[in-house]
Structure 1
């Protein structure tokens, strides 16, 4: 589905991503791990159009989309979440989800005046979709709570919920487990697994929690110094001497 082909990106002479290549297969939950500064988030920003690479290609279903703006990739089903959630803190959880779908009739002044019945019909459909997302993520009990007042873990679930309000086909998750307590982390992991198995989502996941990576991800890709140094299943990766030296530390488990 996504092919990262020889991508490079430098900032002020420092190579953040250096000749990086790998694939995210359709229907997979692909893990992307490595030490801080390995270039993982920079690569996510390139794949999702927030940064242009200096060289290389990003293929989405065979089309080179390197440098294509995020809003265009959004309409092609490629979306991402961020390590720090970006909720609208003064709006409720439900309202945050309602905002997501593009092209809502109520955004058009003429349609609001002349086709009010159609606007209300679409709004009812969106509310049904929001209720489905809230129930799926076990957030229905805080639907009317201001998003700024919910916990960090609940904000991560809300970020995931926002992707469910789109026509997402492939979702890039940037450290979904960071700062999330173990109870909500289990809910988050279950939601990702169900979205993958039941609704056909493809995921690429940056994560430092190795228990979560082991639970969710196959294959696992390891980056260090801007390049891919290893890839394979988790058991193979954790025994790779180069990975142990660059990231995991200690001795093979």
Structure 2
């Protein structure tokens, strides 16, 4: 699905990503872990089109998408969520979903005048889809709540719902568990598993919660100091000396609990 081939990116004298290569197989939930400063978020930004690489190639289903901007990747079915959700706080939960689909006829003044019945039918279909997404995520009781009033975990579910409004097949999840309580984290994990299993979504997940990674992801890629240092299933990686050193050695103390949980 996604091929990352020898991607590198530097910021001045800092080599944030150094010749990283791996594949996110279609239908997989692939994890990307590593201590803070490993280069994970920079790599995500490159894949998602927010940053150009200095070198290397990225392919989506065999098509070279290297350097394409985010809005073009959106139309190709590659979307990204963020560690800090970016909701429209003064719009309702349902409205946050309804604004997502691209090229809505109602956004065009001329179309609204000349093809009003078509605009109405399209709006009804988008509304139906939004309600289906809310029901799938079990947050339909919040449909009329202002998005700014949601808890952190509810906002993460809303972010996931917005990817569902695009019919995306490849989703980059940036720390979906950050700031989420255990109950909502379980609901979020359930939704990711169902989207993967029932609807064929492919995920690549950055996460520091190793229990969540162990539940969701196989394979798991490990980065440290801008490089890919190991990959495999989580049980094997927990015993890998190089991975343990990356988390527990110099500069990795902040992730001790996550790495050993």
TM-score by structure 2 length? 0.95
| Structure 2 SS opposite 1:6 | strand
- Map of 1:88 onto structure 2: 88
Q: Distance in 1 between matches of 2:247 and 2:21?
A: 19
What is the alpha-carbon distance in structure 2 between the residues aligned to residue 248 and residue 94 of structure 1? 43
Which residue does 1:122 correspond to in 2? 122
Runs of 4+ in 1 over 6 A off after TM superposition: 249-253
Map of 2:30 onto structure 1: 30
Superposed displacement of residue 248, structure 1: 5.2
> How far off its partner does 1:13 sit?
1.2
RMSD over aligned CA atoms reads: 1.3
Q: Over residues 175-208 of structure 1, what are the superposed CA-to-partner deviations in whole Å (9 max), with x where a residue is unaligned?
A: 0000000000000000000000000000000000
Query: Helix, strand or coil for the counterpart of 2:222?
Result: strand
**Residue 45 of structure 1 corresponds to which residue in structure 2?**
45
Partner SS state of residue 189, structure 1: helix
Residue 227 of structure 1, CA deviation = 0.7
Distance 1:39 1:47 in 2: 12
Measured after TM superposition, the shift of residue 247 of structure 1 is: 1.4
- Cα deviation, residue 252, structure 1: 8.0
CA offsets 1:111-159 (integer angstroms, 9 cap, x no match): 1111111101001101110011000111111110000001000000000
The answer on 1:10 being equivalent to 2:7 is no
2:210 aligned residue: 210
Partner of 1:173: 173
- Take 2:164 and 2:59, find their aligned partners in 1: how far apart are those partners? 23
Q: What CA distance in whole angstroms lies between the structure 2 residues aligned with 1:63 and 1:92?
A: 37
Alignment of structure 1 residues 77-156 onto 2, 5 Å: 77-156=77-156
Consecutive unaligned residues in structure 1, runs of 5 or more? none
Distance in 2, Cα, partners of 1:234 & 1:124: 44
Distance of 1:236 and 1:21 partners within structure 2: 20
CA–CA separation in structure 2 for the residues paired with 1:149 and 1:63: 40
Distance 1:84 1:66 in 2: 25
Taking the TM superposition and a 5 Å limit, the aligned residue runs for 1:55-94 are 55-94=55-94
Number of matched pairs: 253
Q: Does 1:241 align with 2:241?
A: yes
